[in-house]
Structure 1
Amino acid sequence: MFEEKTYKRCTCHGPLFNRDGDPVLTDAGEHKTGRLDRNCPRLTERNHGSWFYQIELERSGDGERKRAREGGFRTQEEAARQAEEVWRASKAGVNVLSDETVAQFLTRWIKKKKAGLKRTTAHEYERDIELYLVPHLGALKLRDLRARHCQAIFDWIITDNERRAEHRTRVQELQATADAASQAWRTAPVATLTEKNERARLRAIWTTARDEHLAQRQRLQRTTGPATMLSIKTTLSSALSDALKEELIAKNYAAFLTLPKVVKPRALAWTAPRVANWKRTGQKPSPVMVWTLEQTAQFLDFIVMDRQFPGWHLILFHGLRRGELAALTWDEVDLDEEVIHITEQLVSISSEIHEDTPKADSIRDIKLNRDSVRLLKAWRKKQRTERAEWEKHKSWKDSGNRVFTREDGDVYHPQAFSDRWVRLVKLSGLPPIRLHDGRHEAASLALAAGVAPKAVHAMLGHSSMRMTTDTYQTVLPDMHAATASASLDLITAFRAQKNKKATKKAKKKRKKAPKGRGEEAA
C-alpha cells in the first residue's frame, strides 16, 4: 500500500541535540556540532532547505525491506508527486533502486548486442549512441528516463538543423560576395597610378571576403535528415526494449516519439526536358535517377572497353550491390548453369573493409543472361592471364579467388567501384546517376521487358515485394507511351468490333428484306 513520507532538511551546521532535546556531547564533554539536517530551526522558512521523500517498497524474495528515497525538491508537492511516480513504477516491475545511468546502460547494452548484429547495423547503433543518445541522455538515471527526455533529442536536432541551414545560406552569400569582389579586382584597369592603387584596394577587399568565406565554409555542417532521425529512434527503441525486459523502465518511451516523416525519393527517368534543365542548371530533379533505354545503351557502348565492364553489366542487368560485386568469388559462379550465388558482401566501416554475409533476403541465386555469361568467361580468361604474368614476378596477391580484382589480384574496395562509376558517367556526357541507381535501372529494365515482379524481387534480394514495385520500379518513357497507346488501342478496337458487328447485321437484314416492286414488274 502506497504511503508517502515527505520531509525537509538542509545542510546547515550547528550544535547537535538528541530526540529528547538534550545536547550531544563529545568524549571530552563538549557540545558536539555537525550537520543539522531535519533539526535546523530555519526549516520553517519557505526558501530554506529542500524536500525529500521516502517510501516503503515491496519486500524482496527473502523478506528484506526496501526503501526508496530522493531529495532536492523545491516544494513538498513536487516530492510527493515524485514519490507516487516511483511507487507506480515499482508496482509496474521497474527496479527503482538502480542508480545505473543511461550512458552506463547503453555501454553494456551495445557490448552485448553487437555480437548478434551485422557490422553495418552495429556501426549505426554505435554512431547513434556516441553522437546523440549519450550526449543528450547519458547523465540521466535510467529509472528517471521519460518520453519527454527522448523527444527533446529530436526537438534539438530540428532546431539545430535550422541553424545549420541558415549558416549554409550565409556561406553561399559570402561566396557570392567573394566572387563579385574577385571579378571587380581582376577586371579593374591598371593604366595609371590611380587605377593601380584602386586595383590594389579592390584586391584587399577580395582577400578579406575570400578569407571570411573560407573560414565560414570550414564550419559547415550537414543537416540531420529524417532517415538519420529514424535510425536514432530505432537504436533507442531497441535499447529500451531490452531495458524493459530487465525491468529497468516501465515503458519503451521511443514508441511515443514524434519524428518528421521519412519520404523516400521517387526514382525518375532522364527525359529530354529533364536533361535540358540539368544542362542549364546542373540540378537533378530527384536524388534517384535512371536512364532511358537509349541512354543505357549509349553508356554500355561507351564503357565496353573498360576493365570493369563485366561488373557494370552485372549491376545494370542483374542489380548487384557494389559490396556484393566486390565480394563475389569464382566459387559462387556457375557458368555452366548460368547462375551466380550471392552469399557474401564486403562492407566499408570507417574506410576499413570487412567481410560479412548479406541480410537473409539478400542471399540469393541470380540467373545470368547470355551476354553476362559470355563476358564472365572472357573476364576469367583475362584474369588467369594476368595472374600468370604477376606470379612470374611473385607479386600476385591472393584475394580469396575473387571475381573482380586489380591487375595484381588485390581486392577492390567497394568505394573504388563508386568512384570509377562517377568518372565514367561524367566522361560519357550522360546525365548523372549513382552506382546504386544501377539497381533501379536493372529493376526498371526487367519490369519494362515484362519480367514478373516476383522474379525481379528475387533477383534484387528485397525483403518485400512492395520495395521492388514502389521504390525500385521506374516507369520509363517507352512504358508511358505503351500505356497511353494501350488505352487508345482498346477503345479503337472496341469501336472497330462494334462497327464490324453493325455492318454484318445490316447486310443480314438486307438479305432478309422482301423484294421491291421494280423487281416484281420485271
Structure 2
Amino acid sequence: MCTSDGLGRVYRRCGCRDEETGKQFGVRCERLADLSHGRWYFSLQVPGVDGGRDRVRRGGFATLAEAERACWELAQLPGPEAVARTWTVRRWLRFWLSELEGRLRPTTVLNYRSIVEKYLIPHLGRFRLSKLRVKTVQRAMDAICRQVVRGGRLISPGSVSRIRAVLRSALSEARRQGIVGHNPARNLRLPNGARPHAVVWDDEHEVVWRETGVRPRVAVWDLDNLARFLEVVRDDPLFVLWWLVALRGPRRGEMAGLRWEDIDLAAGELTIREQVIVIGGREHLGPPKSVAGVRTLALDEATVKLLWELWHEQRRRRGGVDPKRRVFVHANGRPVSPDWLTRRFAKLVKQLGLPPVRLHDLRHAAAGLASAAGVDLKMIQHDLGHASPVTTAETYIYVFKKMAKEAVRASAELLLSHAKIRMSLEGASQA
C-alpha cells in the first residue's frame, strides 16, 4: 500500500499468457513467486476535475521501492496537477464540451463538438495533458492542414483557424483551472488565407456567368437586380420578409422567430430578441448569435405601412392577432422555418432568372445600401448585429467600395445637372 488513506496499492504482475485462451495471467501467474519475474505496478485514486475520483494505473517499475515512490509522488500532487498527469486530451475536450452546455448557443456547441470529434481527438486525443507541447500541437495542425475535404480540395485556412480556436479555448480553460501551466495552442504557424469577399453582380459579372455558368463564391445583387426582385415578388405572401431582409439585414432565423410583440408600429421600431435555430432537424427558439444580436432596428414609413397591411390581413383571416404569435407564417398559420425560407428564396431567384445569390446574401445588400446612403460603419454594425465593426468592415468591404462608387457617380450627376454644367467624361480626360 502506497498511501495511508487506502486509496492506493502496489502489486506485481507479468505478461505471461495462458496457452489455451491467450489471456494474460497478470497477478495470478505462478511464476511470480520468483521475485525476479514480472514488474511492479501501482493503482491510485486521484481527484478529478469533474468532482469525482479517477483510478490511475502505472507500471513497468523494476522494484517495489520505485513503484511505491511513484505512487506516493502522484498522491501528493494537488488535484489540478493530478488531472494533468492522468487525463488525456480526449477526456478533457469532452468534459469541456459538457461544461459548455447551457452557456453557449446549442448550434455553437454542436459545431465545437464536430470539430473536436472530427479533427482534435483523432490527432491529439491520446496525449496526456501534462505531455502536451507546442511541438506536438504544431505537428497535429500540420497534419490537419494536409487533409482533403469534400470536392477534393485541401481544408481551407479558415477551417484550420476555427479548429485551432476551439483547441485554444479548451486549453485556456484548463490553464484557468490550473491543470496546465501554459496553452500550447498559442503561437502556432498556420496557413494564411483570406475569407471570400462578396462580389457585386454588375453587368460584366452577369455576362460571364450567363455564358460560362461560373459564379463567384459569394455574390450580391446590385441595386437594379435587388429592385427587380422586390418588384416581381410584390404579391408574394412573404414580400414583407424579403423587403425587411433586403433593407435592414436581419438573419433568416431572426425573421423566423419574430413575434408581433417585438414590433412597435407606433414608434416605427422592430426589436430582435430571439431566433429560430435548427439542431438535429428540430427547431428551437434561442437567443441571437451574440449579445450584439439583441438590437432594435428603426423602420421607415414604407416598412411600417407594409407591416400594418400584414397585421390587418392576418387579423382578417384569423379574427385577431395574438401579440405572441410569429409574424411570418404559412397560409395555415404554421410559422415558417429558416431552412424553408432558404429554399423558397432560391426557388424564386431561379424562377426569375436572376443571378444566383443566397438569402443570407441579402444582408450584404442591406449593408451596401446603408453604406451608399451615408450610414456610418458603427450604425451598420449595430443594425447587422455584429459584435465588432471590424467584422462588418472585413465582411462587406468590397460591397461598400462598389456602392460607394455608385453613390459618388450619382452625386456627381446630380451636382452637374443642378449646376447645368455640360461636361463629358471624354472631354475631362482629354483636358
TM-score range, shorter chain: 0.7 to 0.9
The count of corresponding residues between Structure 1 and Structure 2 is 362
Equivalent residues of 1:386, 1:408 under 8 A apart: no
Cα deviation, residue 342, structure 1? 0.7
Between structure 1 and structure 2, the one with the greater Rg is 1
Cα deviation, residue 351, structure 1? 2.1
1:273 aligned partner, one-letter code: E
Q: 2:306 aligns with which of 359, 371, 375?
A: 375
Percent of aligned positions that are identical:
33
Task: State the distance in 2 between where 1:149 and 1:384 align.
Answer: 64
Cα deviation, residue 134, structure 1? 1.9
| Match of residue 259 from structure 1 | 190
Query: SS of the residue aligned with 1:98?
Result: helix
| Match of residue 135 from structure 1 | 122
Matches within 5 A, 1:144-159: 144-159=131-146
1:131 aligned partner, one-letter code: K
Say if 1:12 and 1:371 are closer, same or farther in 2 by CA, change over 3 A. closer
- Kindly indicate whether residue 35 of structure 2 is the aligned counterpart of residue 104 of structure 1: no
Gaps of 5+ in 1: 1-9, 14-29, 40-51, 53-67, 73-82, 170-221, 491-495, 497-522
| Match of residue 178 from structure 1 | none
Query: SS of the residue aligned with 2:333?
Result: coil
Cα deviation per residue 1:41-80 (whole Å; 9 max; x = unaligned)?
xxxxxxxxxxx9xxxxxxxxxxxxxxx98769xxxxxxxx
Q: 1:313 aligns with which of 243, 247, 262?
A: 243
Equivalent residues of 2:260, 2:323 under 8 A apart: no
- Kindly indicate whether residue 384 of structure 2 is the aligned counterpart of residue 453 of structure 1: no
- Kindly indicate whether residue 212 of structure 2 is the aligned counterpart of residue 273 of structure 1: no
Equivalent residues of 2:260, 2:324 under 8 A apart: no
2:180 aligned partner, one-letter code: I
1:104 aligned partner, one-letter code: R
Equivalent residues of 1:340, 1:367 under 8 A apart: yes
Query: SS of the residue aligned with 1:125?
Result: helix
Cα deviation, residue 38, structure 1? 8.4
RMSD value, Cα: 3.7
TM-score normalized by the length of structure 1: 0.62
Equivalent residues of 2:261, 2:324 under 8 A apart: no
1:418 aligned partner, one-letter code: T
| Match of residue 390 from structure 2 | 466
| Match of residue 410 from structure 1 | 334
Equivalent residues of 2:198, 2:220 under 8 A apart: yes
Task: State the distance in 1 between where 2:140 and 2:323 align.
Answer: 44
Say if 1:226 and 1:353 are closer, same or farther in 2 by CA, change over 3 A. farther
Equivalent residues of 1:271, 1:477 under 8 A apart: no
Query: SS of the residue aligned with 2:195?
Result: coil
Cα deviation, residue 261, structure 1? 2.4
Matches within 5 A, 1:316-355: 316-355=246-285
Cα deviation per residue 1:169-219 (whole Å; 9 max; x = unaligned)?
6xxxxxxxxxxxxxxxxxxxxxxxxxxxxxxxxxxxxxxxxxxxxxxxxxx
Say if 1:335 and 1:488 are closer, same or farther in 2 by CA, change over 3 A. closer
Q: 1:297 aligns with which of 227, 233, 237?
A: 227
| Match of residue 441 from structure 1 | 365
Cα deviation, residue 427, structure 1? 1.1
Q: 2:353 aligns with which of 424, 429, 447?
A: 429
Equivalent residues of 2:371, 2:404 under 8 A apart: no
Query: SS of the residue aligned with 1:415?
Result: helix
Say if 1:96 and 1:476 are closer, same or farther in 2 by CA, change over 3 A. closer
Task: State the distance in 2 between where 1:455 and 1:71 align.
Answer: 66
Task: State the distance in 1 between where 2:278 and 2:336 align.
Answer: 11
| Match of residue 178 from structure 2 | 247
| Match of residue 7 from structure 2 | none
Cα deviation, residue 306, structure 1? 1.0
Say if 1:479 and 1:145 are closer, same or farther in 2 by CA, change over 3 A. closer
Cα deviation, residue 466, structure 1? 2.5
Query: SS of the residue aligned with 2:119?
Result: helix
Task: State the distance in 2 between where 1:110 and 1:463 align.
Answer: 23
Say if 1:281 and 1:346 are closer, same or farther in 2 by CA, change over 3 A. same
Say if 1:158 and 1:450 are closer, same or farther in 2 by CA, change over 3 A. same
Cα deviation, residue 366, structure 1? 0.4
Task: State the distance in 2 between where 1:400 and 1:133 align.
Answer: 43
Cα deviation, residue 115, structure 1? 2.6
Gaps of 5+ in 2: 1-12, 17-30, 42-56, 62-69, 416-420, 422-431
Task: State the distance in 1 between where 2:222 and 2:104 align.
Answer: 39
Cα deviation, residue 107, structure 1? 2.1
| Match of residue 33 from structure 1 | 34
Cα deviation, residue 462, structure 1? 1.5
Task: State the distance in 2 between where 1:114 and 1:242 align.
Answer: 15
2:367 aligned partner, one-letter code: A
Equivalent residues of 2:249, 2:384 under 8 A apart: yes
Task: State the distance in 2 between where 1:403 and 1:488 align.
Answer: 41
Say if 1:383 and 1:12 are closer, same or farther in 2 by CA, change over 3 A. closer
Cα deviation, residue 258, structure 1? 2.1
TM-score normalized by the length of structure 2: 0.74
Equivalent residues of 2:326, 2:335 under 8 A apart: yes
Query: SS of the residue aligned with 2:335?
Result: coil
1:134 aligned partner, one-letter code: I
Equivalent residues of 1:364, 1:458 under 8 A apart: yes
Equivalent residues of 1:347, 1:355 under 8 A apart: yes
Query: SS of the residue aligned with 2:278?
Result: strand
Query: Relative to total residues, which structure has the larger helix share, 1 or 2?
Result: 1
Task: State the distance in 1 between where 2:15 and 2:261 align.
Answer: 79
Task: State the distance in 1 between where 2:230 and 2:350 align.
Answer: 14
| Match of residue 361 from structure 1 | 292
| Match of residue 427 from structure 2 | none
Cα deviation, residue 350, structure 1? 2.4
1:137 aligned partner, one-letter code: L
Range with greater deviation from structure 2 (465-474 or 360-369): 465-474
Task: State the distance in 1 between where 2:60 and 2:268 align.
Answer: 73
Say if 1:438 and 1:482 are closer, same or farther in 2 by CA, change over 3 A. closer
